[in-house]
């Protein structure tokens, strides 16, 4: 799996979690860029990403994520 595949799959997860088919994330996307991305939806998002990629984030990874690019980096480190 390459970075483009990770981004494609993340777009599907984000669209599903936030119920918005127009969402298109990039490495620079942050919670400020998506209207409904609050702390509760962040928990739902992390769980959905973990399910999609068959992995578990560490708490320090989740708390350290500043943008989608950091999420992609972690996913790729584990098997991209």
pLDDT for 1: 81
Burial class, 2, CB count within 10 angstroms (exposed 0-12 / middle 13-18 / buried 19+): exposed
pLDDT at 20: 96
Does pLDDT of 80 surpass 90? no
Contacts for 57 with CB less than 8 Å, ≥ 6 apart: 46, 49, 50, 74
Report pLDDT digits (tens) over 9-63. 999 999 999 999 999 999 999 999 999 999 999 999 999 999 999 999 999 999 9
> According to the model, what pLDDT value does residue 10 have?
98
For residue 67, CA distances in Å to 6, 21 come to 14, 20
Q: How many whole angstroms separate alpha carbon 80 and alpha carbon 77?
A: 6
- C-alpha dihedral sign at 13, 19, 24, 25: negative
Domains of the chain: 3-77 (1.10.1200.10)
């Amino acid at each position: 799996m390459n970075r483009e595949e990770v981004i494609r799959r993340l777009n599907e997860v984000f669209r599903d979690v936030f119920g918005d088919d127009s969402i298109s994330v990039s490495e620079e996307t942050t919670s400020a860029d998506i209207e409904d991305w609050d702390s509760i939806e962040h928990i739902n998002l992390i769980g959905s990403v973990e399910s999609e990629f068959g992995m578990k984030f560490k708490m320090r990874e989740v708390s350290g994520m500043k943008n989608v690019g950091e999420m992609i980096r972690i996913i790729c480190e584990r098997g991209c």
